[in-house]
Structure 1
């Protein structure tokens, strides 16, 4: 039984919402989740701004789970040395701070810079959101569609206001 669903910004997904029902169609089992293959859903193309981008090859609905935010798990005693426990994580690379802590009460990050999935490209106008899901002691971060978008659309997420790079989304790049 899924205990909770939390989006990337720590907000709990409302029970019985459309997104909640969609997420309930996938089960988290033994450290992996069951879903159809993703290979035919994405293509990588040069964005001409920031290198490769991930683009959909088919129409996908709101709530569709694109995949897991995968990477190396890293545990730290504090987020920033000599700071209170509630301090916000400082971005460095493609990291996500999990809301759940390790069994030794350390902060746990997923670092996707060197071994990540295709669900890691930033935009201030994202069409994908990260959702933290817990099943017993297993915690996963899934990339979930938050808008219906057509084939050929670049898949992006929002890393928040404290990004360490210049955003290259259309709004920031062209100033509109």
Structure 2
């Protein structure tokens, strides 16, 4: 199975606009397009089981050796490291791993943040509509983020109730 770049872009753009209830042709949506780089023509998704296997490897074998250091080795570095390790783990057979960024919010305070996304064959946001799904993961913990519908808006949340605001991607 492969996913053409424009179908992937459509699904990611839908996640972005559903956070804010924007019309797809709104000028403010230009920000997402400017902040995103979809670099390949086709993407080769993995399964949910494969993602879970990688996340287990990440949490048990990689994370214990990584140490947060403000501005030096922080969220964006964890996210980039996760992309590289996913490529290695899958022996460079898949390219469905991305670097997402935006804001992390908790109790009314928001800070810039980066995290990771996977394109999946059989699971995730948009599966029924697009035939593939998007899953997002916090690389500093290995936790899968949840897509939550609330009052017509799409929210991205961590298991410990942090809110993620998706603003751009490199994949």
TM-score normalized with structure 1 length:
0.27
Using the size of structure 2 for normalisation, the TM-score is 0.28
Which of the pair has more CA radius of gyration? Answer: 1
Larger % of helix: which? 2
